[in-house]
Structure 1
Amino acid sequence: MIWHAIVVGGSYAGLAAALQLARARRSVLVIDEGVRRNRFAHKSHGFLGQDGRPPAEIAAEARRQLMLYRTVTWQAGRAERADAGPGGFSVVDGAGARYDSLRLILATGVQDHLPPIPGLAERWGRSAFHCPYCHGYELNQGRIGVIAVSPLSMHHALMLPDWGATTLLLNGAFEPDAGQSAELARRGVTVEAGTIRSIGGTADLSMDDGRLLSFDGLFVMPRTSAASPLAAQLGCALQEGPLGPYIETDPMQETSVPGVFACGDAARAAGSVTFAVSDGAQAGVALHRSLIFGGNGLPPAPPSRS
């Protein structure tokens, strides 16, 4: 069988893309290994209509609704290889099964790489976060620690005072210059120059000099990398974002490889559930239109009147 579309990744972006195609009565295969980026978080926030709901429940309900459409097939497993051919694309999963399609959507997500501080990974998504809009409100204007990883952590430190009393923990990552120090002072940010030994409790930082600094929550900017090799295998162009590389797309979510679309965190410099769903819906609509009009799904231009 040759599918109209294969969607690799069955989290929020992939589900949203597949839904648009299903509603256009196109055949869709979703290949998903079941590893959501926000699987560590107890609740999802900021997503309209789902605020405060466990993210696993949001994804499960979306999948249940998607599978009501008879043209959708769900294949559990990891897509290991993708190739482009004259008639479309082929994807091979970890079991060696091959699937063919006319178009392809990469909703493969990213992996987060945290600084190697003992105790940080165990608190990721629970009391240590990366997105203030997703988790800042629930800290109830309490004490917030920003663990610096580079000068980019200035962005976090300058934003977070809107959510609580903020301390920037330099942790040997960088030293603010005079201008940066003035910006931090203007926002009321305390600067802590010590080195973090480990994290315990909710967000208790044991410092190398023996002090214990306690916070209600921590924020850190992890480096990200592609969770799947498929974009690289297909030759999709990448952009280098502030946190790591991501797949380059046009406004219709098509990559540099014709017929391959990408959405979600894999195709954004930074993302959220809301952005993932929006981009996924756009990718699904654009792919459907590409089956009709060709190219990236835009209808042909009207003839010139000259």
Structure 2
Amino acid sequence: MTYDVIVIGGSYAGMAAALQLLRAHRNVLIIDAGERRNRFAAHAHGFLTQDGIDPAQIAATAKAQLEQYPTLKWVTGKAVNAQGDKDDFQVIDDKGEVFHGRRVIFAMGVSDTLPDIEGLRDHWGKRVFHCPYCHGYELGKGHIGVIATGPMSLHQARLMPEWGDVTLFLNDALTLDHETQKMLMARDVCIETTPITRLDNNADVLLEDGRRLSFSGLFTASTNAPTSPIAENLGCAIVETGFGTMIDTDNGKLTSIPGAYACGDVARVPHSVSLAVGDGAWAGAQVHASLVFG
């Protein structure tokens, strides 16, 4: 069988794209490995009608709704290779099965490379976050730490005083000139130069000089990259962003390869569930238009 569209990645963006196509009576295959990026978080925020809901429940509800459409096929697994051309793509999964599709949508999301600090990964999505719009309000205007990873951390530190009292940990990742220091001081950001040893007790920061500083929550700018090289191996152009790398697309979510599209975190910045859903819905509509109009 040749599917109208093969969607690689069945999280929020992938399902949003698939929904538009299913409602146009198109045959859609979703291949999903079941590893949502926000699987470490207990609550999703900033998504209209779903504020505070477990993100796993949002995903499960969406999948159950998609499964009501008879033209959907869902395969649990990982797509490991894609080849071919517009109207004749072949996608191979980790079991060696080959699927054929006229269009392909890459929606497999991104991975997060975090600062190499003991205890940080254990608290990721629980007390260490990347998006203040997703998790800042729940910190109750308390003490917030920003752990620097590079230039994007300056943007984060300037923004975060909207949600509480902010300390920026340079952690040997940034050197501030006089103007930058003045800019941060104007936002009442405290600058901490002593490197971090580890994190513990949810959001306690232990410094090399022995001090322990306690926070309501911590933020850091992780470095992102597509979770798989499958799109790049097909020939899709990859672009550098302030967040890392992503698949390059035009305004219609078309990659540099005709017939291949990308959406969600893997093809836009910044990132959130609501932005991924909107991006996916737009991609699905654009893919449908390409099937109709060529």
Larger radius of gyration: 1
Q: 1: CA distance between counterparts of 2:152 and 2:75?
A: 39
Residue type of the alignment partner of 1:263: C
Q: Deviations 1:190-227 (Å, cap 9, x if unpaired)?
A: 01110100100021011110111111100000111110
Residue type of the alignment partner of 1:148: A
Q: 1: CA distance between counterparts of 2:261 and 2:86?
A: 17
Q: 2: CA distance between counterparts of 1:217 and 1:33?
A: 30
Residue type of the alignment partner of 2:211: R
Stretch of structure 1 that moved more, 214-223 or 146-155: 146-155
Does the CA contact (< 8 Å) of 1:244 and 1:269 recur in 2? no
Residue 48 of structure 1 is matched in structure 2 by 48
Quote the offset at 1:87 in angstroms.
Answer: 4.0
Residue 298 of structure 1 is matched in structure 2 by none
1:41-190 matches, cutoff 5 A: 41-85=41-85, 87-190=87-190
Unaligned runs of 5+ in 1: 295-306
Residue 240 of structure 1 is matched in structure 2 by 240
Q: 2: CA distance between counterparts of 1:151 and 1:85?
A: 39
1:257-268 matches, cutoff 5 A: 257-268=257-268
Residue 195 of structure 1 is matched in structure 2 by 195
Residue 24 of structure 2 is matched in structure 1 by 24
Measured at CA, do residues 144 and 194 of structure 1 come closer, stay the same or move farther in structure 2, by a change above 3 Å? same
Q: 2: CA distance between counterparts of 1:52 and 1:42?
A: 9
Identical-pair percentage: 51
Q: Deviations 1:120-140 (Å, cap 9, x if unpaired)?
A: 000000000000100000000
SS at match of 1:45: coil
Alignment length, in residue pairs?
294
Quote the offset at 1:239 in angstroms.
Answer: 1.2
Unaligned runs of 5+ in 2: none
Quote the offset at 1:230 in angstroms.
Answer: 1.3
Residue type of the alignment partner of 1:210: G
Q: 1: CA distance between counterparts of 2:160 and 2:241?
A: 21
Q: 1: CA distance between counterparts of 2:190 and 2:67?
A: 51
SS at match of 1:157: helix
Q: TM-score, normalised by structure 1?
A: 0.95
Residue 277 of structure 1 is matched in structure 2 by 277
Q: 2: CA distance between counterparts of 1:87 and 1:192?
A: 56
Measured at CA, do residues 238 and 273 of structure 1 come closer, stay the same or move farther in structure 2, by a change above 3 Å? same
Residue type of the alignment partner of 2:201: G
Q: 2: CA distance between counterparts of 1:87 and 1:224?
A: 31
Runs of 4+ in 1 over 4 A off after TM superposition: none
1:245-260 matches, cutoff 5 A: 245-260=245-260
Residue type of the alignment partner of 2:208: D
Residue type of the alignment partner of 2:28: V
**Alignment root-mean-square deviation, CA:** 0.8
Does the CA contact (< 8 Å) of 1:44 and 1:53 recur in 2? yes
Does the CA contact (< 8 Å) of 2:86 and 2:259 recur in 1? no
Q: 1: CA distance between counterparts of 2:195 and 2:122?
A: 19
Quote the offset at 1:63 in angstroms.
Answer: 0.3
